[in-house]
Copies of this chain bind each other. A is one copy, B any other.
């Protein structure tokens, strides 16, 4: 009961009905699609809605429909990753925007710890959201399976780990992208092309490595194990990876790095080691994250179409909520040439 800004009772569907001279039922029908409503009534109701400033009470609607008309955005990453990687922000932004077009709010769920994971799982399976957008580069956690088994509509960003799982997902074409980038590096005349991979317990990480190896083999370049080190998409693991590469193959002349964030780390290490980029060593990243433009030299990278990815995630999730059977969506990547190659 604050003294300032007392909020009055908002208009209900009753008020609109009275104002328009029709019944609640008719107003409701106008609100939900407008089938079996005469044009005259349609118009009268819309006018009444404008006049009263009526907005539907979502709680009342949800109570009767059983839907919440909201979805969760679940991020199962340690918080350092969430702080470091702007890709999450890009996805968040994209999903928020795509959902806004359907007037669906997004509930943010950050599961950094095991406790949070449990709490959030319970929240979701209690029916408080209609579905879940799952983002988790390192999807080794059981949360996807758990939610899927509970019958919660679910779309992952990137292919989840369990092969047997029937979880829908949206991803960039990792293998093809890796192939393009490796081909690009070879086309520059480089032959000692190293790679810093993503986490190899994730399908995405494995695919990017596979694409790299394929192209080298096709080009008749021997795949040297000392030229491949693994990382976890973090900047620091890029630094470390480049250090090991330089130690093992001092005369390498190119590196394909499985994420832009790691690529920044690679650039740091190369600079410390006195290597010029791209003259001595060409560096190719992956993602085209905001980090790619912020680095110097600016990164040549494989663009993941994050705006399309998030739009597709939302589209697939809504289809699934609508009861449709949905499949995986794979989107093409695109080579973006900048200063580092």
Q: Is A89 an interface residue (CB 8 A)?
A: yes
- In the complex, A1 Cα to B320 Cα: how many Å? 10
> Digit string of A142-166 for contact with B (CB within 8 Å is 1, else 0)?
0000001111100000000000001
Least distance between A75 CB and chain B CB atoms (Å):
10
Cβ–Cβ < 8 Å partners of A108 in chain B: 73, 92, 96, 106-108
Q: A92-B108, A325-B2 are in contact. Are A10 and B126 (CB under 8 A)?
A: yes
Identify A126's interface contact among B55, B96, B110, CB under 8 A: B55
Q: Is A39 an interface residue (CB 8 A)?
A: no
In residues 90-127 of chain A, which contact B (Cβ within 8 Å)? Answer: 90, 92-93, 96-97, 100, 105-110, 112, 116, 119, 122-123, 126-127
**Is A290 in contact with B59, judged by CB distance below 8 angstroms?**
no
Chain copies in complex: 2
Name A153's closest neighbour in chain B (CB-CB): B2
Q: A1-B323, A323-B1 are in contact. Are A127 and B63 (CB under 8 A)?
A: no
Cβ–Cβ < 8 Å partners of A28 in chain B: none
Cβ–Cβ < 8 Å partners of A93 in chain B: 79, 82-83, 110, 112
Least distance between A63 CB and chain B CB atoms (Å):
5
Least distance between A237 CB and chain B CB atoms (Å):
13
Cβ–Cβ < 8 Å partners of A106 in chain B: 107-108
Cβ–Cβ < 8 Å partners of A150 in chain B: 5, 7
**Is A59 in contact with B55, judged by CB distance below 8 angstroms?**
no
Least distance between A130 CB and chain B CB atoms (Å):
11
In residues 25-78 of chain A, which contact B (Cβ within 8 Å)? Answer: 55, 57-60, 62-63, 68, 70, 73
Identify A100's interface contact among B60, B116, B126, CB under 8 A: B116
Name A70's closest neighbour in chain B (CB-CB): B107
**Is A89 in contact with B82, judged by CB distance below 8 angstroms?**
yes
**Is A83 in contact with B73, judged by CB distance below 8 angstroms?**
no
Name A88's closest neighbour in chain B (CB-CB): B89
**Is B2 in contact with A323, judged by CB distance below 8 angstroms?**
yes
Q: Is A4 an interface residue (CB 8 A)?
A: yes
**Is A7 in contact with B126, judged by CB distance below 8 angstroms?**
no
- In the complex, A123 Cα to B100 Cα: how many Å? 11
**Is A10 in contact with B127, judged by CB distance below 8 angstroms?**
yes
Q: Is A274 an interface residue (CB 8 A)?
A: no
Identify A119's interface contact among B82, B100, B123, B148, CB under 8 A: B100
Cβ–Cβ < 8 Å partners of A166 in chain B: 4
Name A80's closest neighbour in chain B (CB-CB): B290
Least distance between A106 CB and chain B CB atoms (Å):
5
- In the complex, A60 Cα to B61 Cα: how many Å? 10
Cβ–Cβ < 8 Å partners of A188 in chain B: none
User: Can you sample 23 A-B contacts with CB below 8 Å?
Assistant: A1-B323, A5-B149, A5-B150, A7-B150, A10-B126, A58-B59, A58-B128, A59-B62, A59-B63, A59-B68, A60-B63, A63-B63, A83-B290, A84-B86, A84-B294, A92-B108, A96-B110, A100-B119, A105-B123, A105-B128, A106-B107, A106-B108, A108-B108
Which 7 residue pairs across A and B have the least CB separation, nearest first? A5-B151, A59-B62, A55-B126, A83-B290, A59-B63, A108-B108, A59-B59
